[in-house]
């Protein structure tokens, strides 16, 4: 199975928070998409790895993913080691995605920082023939970073207005992590009632930057080339 786009998130639910609208859109455009979670969430304050795995598969069905895998690294201890890099390299060579999404490197959570580093390095190393995994070498065309700090301007935004409701449906599959008035478990950043409205505000804010209702923002390290600037900007001709 060759994928067009593959998103690497540290924890099951990271992808739902910030990339799933774009994945839904890509699926609708006929592309094959996949998600790889680095850990099972065994350190999560709420829920268990088994519950998170079920939630991840339920969300994958809503997102129309062709693949959702878990690399089973250790939660809270994702480090840039050779075994971790090799797991990502094997995944890249197996699915050969042209486009890779992963965490932005400046983030409070060390697992997000290290996932960004491992995936970025593995994308390069995967193109080296002498790193032997028994597979053909492969290097993705581009890495797009998500979960940007608020003061980082996205390189571009994807209008997900049509997909926002389905994105939220996918996210709500992770009910163990989200606000539940009946739960007496300890609270987290995600489980307080203010979290989902704040997430919606972020997508609304990104939407206002491109005159749409909801958008997701991505950062790309390289310059982006446009073949036909007239066609490109006229299509989005509102001022």
Q: Which of 7, 8, 11, 190 binds Zn ion (CB under 5 A)?
A: 11
- Chain positions 13 to 32 lying near Zn ion, rule: CB under 5 A, are 14
Q: How far is the CB of 236 from Zn ion (least distance, A)?
A: 32
Number of residues that bind Zn ion (CB under 5 A): 3
Closest CA to 116 of 91, 73, 79, 67: 79
Q: Are 23 and 51 in contact (CB under 8 A)?
A: no
Q: Which CB sits closer to Zn ion, 147 or 168?
A: 147
Smaller CB separation from Zn ion, 37 or 159: 37
Which letter, b or e, does each residue of 70-97 get, where b requires 16 or more Cβ atoms within 10 Å of its Cβ?
A: bbebebeebebeeebbbbbbbbbbbbbb
Q: Which is nearer to Zn ion, 11 or 166 (by Cβ)?
A: 11
- Minimum distance of Zn ion from residue 234's CB (angstroms): 39
Segment near Zn ion (CB under 5 A), from 12-20, 32-40, 46-54, 78-86? 12-20
Identify the CA nearest to 111 among candidates 14, 20, 36: 14
- CB of 39 or CB of 62, closer to Zn ion: 39
Residue number, 32 or 88, with CB nearest to Zn ion: 88
Q: 107 near 147, Cβ under 8 Å? A: yes
- As a whole number of Å, the end-to-end CA separation of the chain is 42
Q: In angstroms, what is the minimal distance from the CB of 161 to Zn ion?
A: 25
Ramachandran region, residue 160 (left: φ > 0; alpha: ψ -120 to 50; beta: rest): alpha
| Shortest distance (Å) from residue 128 CB to Zn ion | 29
Q: How far is the CB of 39 from Zn ion (least distance, A)?
A: 9
DSSP E strands: which ranges in 64-161? Answer: 67-73, 99-103, 142-146, 156-159
Q: Which is nearer to Zn ion, 143 or 147 (CB)?
A: 147
- Which of 3, 6, 7, 10 is close enough to bind Zn ion by CB under 5 A? 10
Asked if residues 169 and 62 have their Cβ atoms less than 8 Å apart, the reply is: yes
Residues that bind Zn ion (CB under 5 A): 10-11, 14
């Amino acid at each position: 199975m060759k994928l067009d786009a593959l998103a690497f998130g540290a924890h099951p639910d990271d992808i739902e928070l910030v990339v799933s609208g774009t994945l839904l859109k890509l699926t609708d455009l006929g592309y094959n998409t996949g998600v790889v979670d680095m850990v099972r969430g065994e350190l999560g304050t709420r829920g268990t790895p088994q519950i998170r795995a079920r939630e991840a598969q339920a969300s994958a069905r809503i997102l129309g993913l062709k693949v959702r895998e878990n690399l089973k690294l250790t939660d809270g201890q994702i480090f840039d080691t050779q075994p971790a890099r090799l797991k990502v390299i094997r995944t890249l060579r197996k699915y050969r995605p042209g486009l890779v999404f992963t965490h932005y490197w400046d983030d409070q959570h060390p697992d997000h920082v290290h996932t960004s580093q491992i995936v970025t390095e593995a994308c390069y190393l995967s193109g080296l023939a002498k790193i032997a995994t028994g597979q053909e070498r492969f290097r993705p065309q581009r890495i797009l970073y998500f979960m940007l700090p608020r003061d980082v301007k996205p390189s571009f935004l994807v209008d997900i207005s049509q997909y926002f409701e389905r994105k939220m449906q996918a996210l709500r599959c992770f009910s163990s992590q989200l606000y539940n008035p009946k739960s007496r478990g300890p609270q987290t950043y995600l489980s307080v009632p203010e979290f989902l409205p704040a997430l919606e505000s972020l997508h609304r804010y990104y939407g206002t930057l491109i005159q749409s209702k909801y958008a997701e923002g991505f950062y790309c390290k390289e310059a982006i080339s446009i073949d036909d600037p007239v066609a490109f900007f006229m299509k989005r001709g509102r001022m």
